[in-house]
Amino acid sequence: MQKLVDLISSPEFYNFQQTLAESWYSKLVSGYKMGKREEEIVNMLVNAVNAIQNSGNSLYFGGMQVNVAAKFIHGNISQVKYKDFSGKEHQCELGDMVIIGAVAENRKLIFQRICFIQNKKGRNNKTAIAWGIDATQLFLLKHFPMLTGVSGILKGYGPMKFSNASGCLGGYGLLHSPGEMVFASAPLVDYWKAGRKSIGSKDMNLSPAHHCSHCGLGIAPLYFCKAWRSCLLLSLPYCHNRALFGNTIFARNVYEFITAWTHLSIGEILCCDGKIFNDEACKLATYMINSVLPGSIDESFDGVSANGFPEEMPGDDNAGMGVFVYLINYQ
């Protein structure tokens, strides 16, 4: 734990975060200037992340290797089907971006979390920005009921149930001109939407800590996380993006989002202190990590196996989902 605190407090780590944020800003601005669609902008972000990784700028600090890498997957949109609370079946896209944060020691998974994100380009008017939100997908990203893969990465897989104790397994990347991104958890977006067809920038004026009921991480992480329990408890009430192992539900800009992601504060916790809370989601996340950073995580320990997934995720340059992996590996 102390090594991680020393890491995120170091000037080297700050420079790493700054470089990553600047690369995202650059691609968002370019994407907007060229009129790119959301999935095309995600692909540009994938290239930006990999340019950092391939440049040899990986961070080594105190016996830890910090990697950030990405991959654009599947040609068909990753569609899933589920039943709502009334029993009616729906089908929609899972998302166009997956954010994973993880810690491993000698390739053994210690900590892991994941967030499925749907990006939306905003419509600018004279006084505000508006983002259209599909009710069917919002229900999925907020509640994550039992679901079955129809196409894309989860095709033929399921039925499966992912836990969402944090309320942040699903979220939105709200893009706007000239090249910015707001991150918000699905429950928070649902609060802003209030039954309407869209949300606006004016809805974000209140602090999310005052109107979010999903600041907790659930009892399982608090029970099992021995060395990290005190840090988790300290960060829970605030919902801010600078806490290590916090639970960030809102980031007003790219830099805040990058800070939260690299502080391991984005998404649902799947593994903590080596204890796995959701086998299905942990299996999927581990598979994605090893597809992006081959051989990074040992899949032989209890609860995690990539069985059931193809050997490699298919790639496509025009449509699909971007998988972004941030991994701290103790040597």
pLDDT tens for 111-157 read 999 999 999 999 988 788 999 999 999 999 999 999 998 887 788 88
Q: Any idea what the Cα angle at residue 106 is, between residues 14 and 321, rounded to 5°? A: 65
Rounded (5°) CA angle 261-43-95: 65
In this prediction, residues 299-321 reach a mean pLDDT of 51
Kindly tell me if the per-residue pLDDT of 58 is higher than 70.
no
Q: How confident is the model at residue 274 (pLDDT cuts 50, 70, 90)?
A: confident
Question: What amino acid occupies position 26?
Answer: S
| Percent of residues, the chain, with pLDDT higher than 70 | 80
Q: Could you tell me the pLDDT band of residue 300, with boundaries at 50, 70 and 90?
A: low
CA distances 303 to 219, 286, 323, Å, are: 19, 11, 22
| Whole-model pTM over 0.95 | no
What does the alpha-carbon distance between residue 182 and residue 79 come to, in Å, rounded to a whole number?
Answer: 24
Q: What residues contact residue 244 under an 8 Å CB cut-off, 6+ apart?
A: 4, 5, 8, 231, 235, 263, 264, 265
Of 38, 45, 221, 47, nearest to 131 by C-alpha is 38
Distances (CA, A) of 183 to 13, 236, 249, 252: 22, 18, 8, 7
Nearest C-alpha neighbor of 100 from the set 241, 282, 232: 282
Q: Which two tokens stand for residue 176?
A: 């706007």
Burial label for 202, CB within 10 Å (0-12, 13-18, 19+), is exposed
174-184, pLDDT tens digit by residue? 999 999 999 99
Least confident piece of the model among 249-253, 285-289, 309-313: 309-313
Pick from 50, 51, 54, 53: nearest CA to 72: 50
Spatial CB neighbours of 300, under 8 Å, sequence gap ≥ 6: none
What's CA 145's distance to the chain center, in Å? 18
The packing angle between helices 135-143 and 186-193, to 10°, is 140
Q: Classify the C-alpha dihedral 229-116-185-148 as positive or negative.
A: negative
Integer Cα distance of 179 and 170 in angstroms: 22
What percentage of the chain carries pLDDT values higher than 90? Answer: 53
